Structure 1
Amino acid sequence: MPADPASQSSDSETNANDTRVYKVRKSRLISLVNWYHVVSTFFPWILIGLVALLVVQFSFSMYQNRGQVEELIVYTVTGKPEVWFLGWQGTFLTLTLVYLFARRERQVYLLDFCTWEPPADWKVSHAQLIEIMRRQACFTEESLNLMGRVLAKSGTGQATAWPPSILESMKTGKPQNQSVENARAESERVICDCIRDVLDKTKTQPKDVDILIINCSLFSPTPSLCALAAHNFGMRKDILSYNLSGMGCSASVLAVDLAKNLLRSRPNSIALVVSTENLTQNLYRGNERMMLIQNTLFRCGGAAMILSNRFTDSLRAKYKLLHAQRLQGTDDESYESVFECEDSEGNHGVRLSKKVPDVAGRAMEQNLTALGPHVLPLSEMIKVGRVWGLRFLTRRLRVWLEKNQMTKLAKYVPVVAPYVPDFKRGIDHFCIHAGGRKVVDDVAANLKLSEDQTQPSRDTLYNYGNTSSSSIWYELSFIRHHMKQKRGQRVLQISFGSGFKCNTAVWLCLKDGEGMRKK
């Protein structure tokens, strides 16, 4: 049935008066089209069309001048064969150079980085921290004594940072307020301070940032921390933002690796990477021994880095990323070694397994085995290959003798010890994750590092505590300001995280450190 004209007119009047209906003049519709997106989307098809047109035109010209083309081919082949072969060689060489240039990966530069310096009113001593734990009114005397003993052996100093919501217990005598507002306030303070400092240091405007990556393992609010940073600094609406959580203390290298891959696919871009952790909502309130350790390990901290793939930025960059190596354990021990869960009474926390040192040792061995060819000199690689060959032959010989019932002879086959390459021949400075004094000691023993080479990690642990993923940047800051770091030297960052992960990054120093300028 045809519609009633009266009803049509009433509907049109309703639509005209309805403020929810979005209207625009037809003359302005064309300005709403994203022409850059349209052109970039259809450009490959336009390019194919142009190439096809060029092929047709070339073929038609060849057909029209086929007589001259035949004469040219006969003359070139019969009269001047060396010119013919020279042309093919030149064409092949040109195509090879073009292919290699196209396959060349873009270099990633670290313009600069900043670490967060906690204010004085965030810092507490060991005794104050134990008093704070006592005022939570949930720990037994045995648990308080255990945390006191762990703190005494932790290698941390007497002025490390905790968030204000936890320190408030010192004033009020009441348990901590673990609200989302307090947790967001902690993250906002650390993240925004780091970003503001690194943007000022590199003279970068917020709208110049193309990629934003923030890693925070234990706090993942809605809106995300990336949204918090983009909102506070007024970044671009088309920024590529990535919020990483649950990656543990190794997340900073993961974030750098993600930024590297994104930068290599997006020319002339800048990436901002922020690494931090949040303690407000992650104080364990139970009394299980293996879950109490987290209350003594972690501290507030953060770091922000500006990465770029622009060639012009290489002139002012502090470092160039040479290689990032990741390793993810997949066995049961690796997965359960650092595990977020609840205890038997329903208290939320992170359980640390007794097998963490063994799991970390295996993960580091596998990671450095894969990293070795990228950083070790040829002489060290030859030693590794020779020992590997001897171990393979002696193992095979021993198995063959035992299989042929010659066990007495098999006992005389020597057991060749594995060769641990000297990474000090390919690396000048080491940033070992400051996860605790035992972590630093074990890595130093495995790599045979001197006291000076582990000083950045020990100093960071003492002055800042275990700041999770950002600890390796506090160590790099120590190297730049207090050690004689020269241009051309290499820095190795080693980090460990839940899962279990061991991630490493190798940086090439492009500018002398501030320590070189001190007399």
Structure 2
Amino acid sequence: MTTAVSPQPRILGVGTATPPHSYSQQDVLDAFGIEDEKIISVFQNSAIERRFLNLPPVDGYGRRRMETQGELLAKHARWGVDMGSRALLTCLDDIGAKRADIGYLACVTTTGFLTPGFSAKLIRELGLTPHTRRLDVVGMGCNAGLNGLTATADWAAANPGRLAMMVCSESCSAAYVFDGTMRTAVVNSLFGDGAAAVAMVAGEPERPQPGATVLKFASYMIADAIDAMRYDWDDEAGKFSFFLDREVPYAVGAHAEIVIDRLLEGTGLRRSDIAHWIVHSGGKKVIDSVNVNLGLTRHDVRHTISVLRDYGNLSSGSFLFSYQRLLEEGVARRGEHGIFMTMGPGSQIETALVRY
């Protein structure tokens, strides 16, 4: 008896979107009147030049007013739908598909909580068929883009010829707390707002435009670092506050080899065979730690570095911004292999092996 093999899903295209306004690190420091030299140093040494943000409104005195948790959730909802819609439509346009072609929609976010979630809101906002299968991946953090891609790829493989889409929509400025502490300063210096959408299909003839076929996924949870990245409720501020442990970059780097070796196991490939690396733009120290532990060069992660520079950390969708830049560069050749790698709360490392 022969077991049927599911066709491999292929990424057809990607689309991205941001809010209309971007700010330099100095712009943000000035907007909030930050004068603490230690905090200023965190902003200035982040390897970030600009970020797209939805800053709090200005009060009657020309100062940025601190938003309530309710206002932050409203910001998350409004801009999550706005950016997610634009990213999805850009992606459809990129591949020459129509809204009616979408059979599956996975939406990923960590910057707020809604019920119903973004998948339902985007289906209504964009007039997608009510028969669209949908999934919301909420609260998994910066690694979650690959968690969502796993589900999207599985649906595409199980439904050959049908279009599956994933949207990562992160309004990170809807998760900011400004209390003058170093804890919140690290978060406020790093994250930016943005959305990315990706389209996948399996079982169709390959199209002329470049794209990656997804071959395999591998995961690794650093259980000893489960509290290293987390949301806590801040009673004094009356809102949630994100925490990043200073040891996160080193924990991620120290375990990177384990998950990459697992990903390549049984494929006949070695790390030196990987032509293109798409690593999450988690921050300067995270990128440096991954480079050291995997023996990568700055050229290997040039798109990761440039996305961090131009957008900051975009959470779950960061790796798709880097993937888009790789495609625009036009250097990926048919048959070459690549790796996607994201990391986030858990502490979790997610990876995907792809072939161009």
For normalisation by structure 2, the TM-score amounts to 0.91
Contact kept, 8 Å, 1:337 with 1:359, in 2: the verdict is no
Aligned residues: 352
Give the distance between the partners of 1:169 and 1:506, measured in 2 at CA: 49
Aligned to 1:266: 159
Give the distance between the partners of 1:105 and 1:504, measured in 2 at CA: 20
Structure 2 residue 184 is matched with structure 1 residue 294 = no
Structure 2 residue 344 is matched with structure 1 residue 497 = yes
Contact kept, 8 Å, 2:160 with 2:204, in 1: the verdict is no
Percent of residue pairs identical: 19
Q: Structure 2 vs 1, CA of residues 375 and 473 (structure 1 numbering), >3 Å: closer, same or farther?
A: farther
Give the distance between the partners of 1:352 and 1:488, measured in 2 at CA: 38
Aligned to 1:128: 27
Q: Structure 2 vs 1, CA of residues 323 and 441 (structure 1 numbering), >3 Å: closer, same or farther?
A: same
Aligned to 1:308: 201
Aligned to 1:111: 12
- 1:259 partner letter: T
Give the distance between the partners of 1:169 and 1:500, measured in 2 at CA: 39
Shift of 1:286: 2.6
Shift of 1:454: 2.1
Contact kept, 8 Å, 2:183 with 2:244, in 1: the verdict is yes
**CA RMSD of superposed structures (Å):** 2.3
Give the distance between the partners of 2:194 and 2:266, measured in 1 at CA: 31
Shift of 1:437: 1.0
Q: State the SS of the aligned residue for 2:300.
A: helix
Structure 2 residue 147 is matched with structure 1 residue 254 = yes
Aligned to 2:307: 460
Aligned to 1:408: none
Contact kept, 8 Å, 1:254 with 1:326, in 2: the verdict is no
Q: Structure 2 vs 1, CA of residues 374 and 295 (structure 1 numbering), >3 Å: closer, same or farther?
A: farther
- 1:257 partner letter: T
Contact kept, 8 Å, 2:144 with 2:316, in 1: the verdict is yes
Aligned to 1:349: 241
Give the distance between the partners of 2:352 and 2:61, measured in 1 at CA: 43
Shift of 1:343: 4.4
Equivalent positions of 1:114-263 (< 5 A) are 114-119=15-20, 122-134=21-33, 141-142=35-36, 145-157=37-49, 159-163=50-54, 165-166=55-56, 168=58, 172-178=62-68, 179=71, 180-263=73-156
Contact kept, 8 Å, 2:16 with 2:87, in 1: the verdict is yes
Aligned to 1:480: 327
Instruction: Kindly provide the CA deviation profile for residues 244-265 of structure 1, in whole angstroms up to 9, marking residues without a partner as x.
Output: 1111101111111011222233
Contact kept, 8 Å, 1:132 with 1:167, in 2: the verdict is no
Aligned to 2:317: 470
Structure with more helix by fraction: 1
Shift of 1:448: 1.6
Larger RCO (CA under 8 A, 6+ residues apart): 2
Give the distance between the partners of 1:357 and 1:459, measured in 2 at CA: 18
For normalisation by structure 1, the TM-score amounts to 0.64
Structure 2 residue 208 is matched with structure 1 residue 361 = no
Give the distance between the partners of 1:173 and 1:358, measured in 2 at CA: 38
Q: Structure 2 vs 1, CA of residues 225 and 172 (structure 1 numbering), >3 Å: closer, same or farther?
A: farther
Q: Structure 2 vs 1, CA of residues 301 and 475 (structure 1 numbering), >3 Å: closer, same or farther?
A: same
Give the distance between the partners of 1:374 and 1:184, measured in 2 at CA: 43
Aligned to 2:178: 285
Give the distance between the partners of 1:453 and 1:233, measured in 2 at CA: 37
Structure with more strand by fraction: 2
Q: Structure 2 vs 1, CA of residues 192 and 169 (structure 1 numbering), >3 Å: closer, same or farther?
A: farther
Contact kept, 8 Å, 1:428 with 1:491, in 2: the verdict is yes
Q: Structure 2 vs 1, CA of residues 174 and 287 (structure 1 numbering), >3 Å: closer, same or farther?
A: closer
- 1:225 partner letter: F
- 1:217 partner letter: T
Give the distance between the partners of 2:87 and 2:65, measured in 1 at CA: 29
Larger radius of gyration: 1
- 1:361 partner letter: G
Shift of 1:223: 2.9
- 1:264 partner letter: A
Structure 2 residue ranges without an equivalent (≥5): none
Shift of 1:117: 4.9
Q: Which moved more, 1:475-484 or 1:211-220?
A: 475-484
